[in-house]
Amino acid sequence: MKVKVSEINNKCDNEVVNTDITASIGDLLLDAGKISPSDVERIIAFQKQKGVYFGEAAKALGLISDDDIQKALSNQFDFPHLMASEESFSSELAAAYQPNSAQVEALRAVRGQLMLRWFIDVHKTLALISPSRNEGRSCMAANLAIVFSQIGERTLLIDADLRQPRQHALFNLQGGYGLSDVLAGRADLSIATRTTVFRDLFVLPAGTVPPNPGELISRGLKNCLQQLQIQFDVILIDTSPTEQGLDAQLIASLCGGALLVARKDKTKLDALQMLKETLQDTGIQCLGAVLTDF
């Protein structure tokens, strides 16, 4: 299922990765090279004898593991995700690695709320804001982006944290240009990268860490967003913490709405309340809050 990066680097108009949705599990496993054709016959014989599914029969014969079946199933149902063994992304992306965990269920709940409250009409951009560092904002942004992409929304994740960017590390995007370079005029918006696993998820990393993040963002982000809104359904923006500067509020005002991220047992209530009040004073809508607890 590997798609070459060079292909994705092209404009992401209507390019679709071919996945045969009608394929059976047996075919998928064959394609993946997990079983040989001779194995298939044994499995089918076992299947007839016991009256179980193909996957279970194969597992019972010890030919494949649970992981292989899961992988095949998610392909069958067009629900891309990664096995723990495939360490291409950071393990923090729970939405990629543990799609059935409670954490990801919670993320899906957040996704549902946001779809109802925000992305229902003209809004396409949303800033994730938190008062200070290490509150799970970047991780939340990345995971939310993944779950948005899993329902077929064309999702763009922008890393606007020009002070300590993290998204390139999470999505394992080594080096290259990013938002700061776009704003500085050294690159254009085509550098938004489609991720290897998730067809509808594009990531715009922060790029080179600039000496003047505040000025850069106030200079050209508005234009960028206007252009990007044409191409994407959902644009999630990861920001730097508000205690480090006004970038986050600026970005939030461009988006018109913000989602507060706070870490349980760490974020100070006072700081959170101050942040919410400042946002509301400047006419930014605080959609709600998400608590992280990991």
Partner 1 sequence: MKFQQLINIFWSRKRIFLSVFMMTVITTLFVSILLPKQYVATTSVVVDQRNVDPVTGLNSPVSQLLPSYVATQVDVIKSHNVARKVLEKLELSKLKLSDNQQMKKDFPQLEKDFPDLQKKFVKAGGIGDIRDWVADLLLEKLEVKPSRESNMIQFDFASSDPQLAADIANAFADAYIQTSVELRAQPAKITADWFDSQMASLREYLEHAQSVLSTYQQQEGIVDGSDRLDIEKTRLVDLSRQLVEIQSRTNELKSRKDLLASILKQGGSFESLQEVLDSKLIQELKTELAVREAHFAEISQKFKKGNPQYNQAEAQVTSLKKEIQSAVLMVLNSINSMVTSSKQRDDMIAKALAEQKAKVLDLKKKHDQIAVLSREVESAQRTYDEVMHRAIQTRMESELSQTDISILNSAYPPQKAAKPKVLLNMILSIFLGGVLGVGAALLSELMDRRVRSAFDVSEMLGIPVFAVVSAPVAKENRMLWRFNLDKIEQRLNLFIRRINESKSI
Instruction: Pick from 36, 88, 273, 282 the residue near partner 1 by CB under 8 A.
Output: 273
Instruction: Pick from 13, 269, 281, 283 the residue near partner 1 by CB under 8 A.
Output: 269
Q: What are phi and psi of 219, to 5 degrees?
A: -75, -55
Closest CA to 105 of 63, 72, 147, 138: 147
Supply the minimum distance, in Å, between the C-beta of residue 242 and partner 1: 14
Residues 46-65 that bind partner 1 (CB under 8 A): none
Tokens of 17: 């990765």
Supply the minimum distance, in Å, between the C-beta of residue 7 and partner 1: 31
Supply the minimum distance, in Å, between the C-beta of residue 164 and partner 1: 21
266 forms part of the interface with partner 1 (CB under 8 A): yes
83 forms part of the interface with partner 1 (CB under 8 A): no
Q: What are phi and psi of 108, to 5 degrees?
A: -65, -35
In a 13 Å sphere around the CA of 60, the CA atoms on its Cβ side amount to: 16
Quickly tell me which residue has 């605080």 as its tokens.
Answer: 286
Instruction: Pick from 123, 124, 199, 263 the residue near partner 1 by CB under 8 A.
Output: 263
The window from 74-82, 90-98, 149-157, 199-207 that contacts partner 1 (CB under 8 A) reads 90-98
Supply the minimum distance, in Å, between the C-beta of residue 240 and partner 1: 20
260 forms part of the interface with partner 1 (CB under 8 A): yes
Over the Cα atoms of the chain, what is R_g?
A: 21
**CA 286/CA 258 separation, integer angstroms:** 5
Closest CA to 111 of 159, 153, 166: 153
- Give the dihedral sign, CA 77/78/81/82: positive
Q: Which is nearer to partner 1, 29 or 260 (CB)?
A: 260
**CA 289/CA 218 separation, integer angstroms:** 25
282 forms part of the interface with partner 1 (CB under 8 A): no
Residues 91-150 that bind partner 1 (CB under 8 A): 94, 97-98, 101-104, 106-107, 109-110, 113-114, 136, 140, 143
Tokens of 76: 């069958």
Supply the minimum distance, in Å, between the C-beta of residue 102 and partner 1: 6
Tokens of 204: 């715009």
Where would I find the H helices in 192-243?
A: 213-231
272 forms part of the interface with partner 1 (CB under 8 A): yes
Strand order across the beta sheet in which 234-238 lies: 193-194, 201-204, 155-159, 234-238, 125-129, 257-263
Q: Which is nearer to partner 1, 140 or 217 (CB)?
A: 140
Instruction: Pick from 41, 172, 264, 282 the residue near partner 1 by CB under 8 A.
Output: 264
Binding site for partner 1 (CB under 8 A): 94, 97-98, 101-104, 106-107, 109-110, 113-114, 136, 140, 143, 259-260, 262-270, 272-273, 276, 286-294
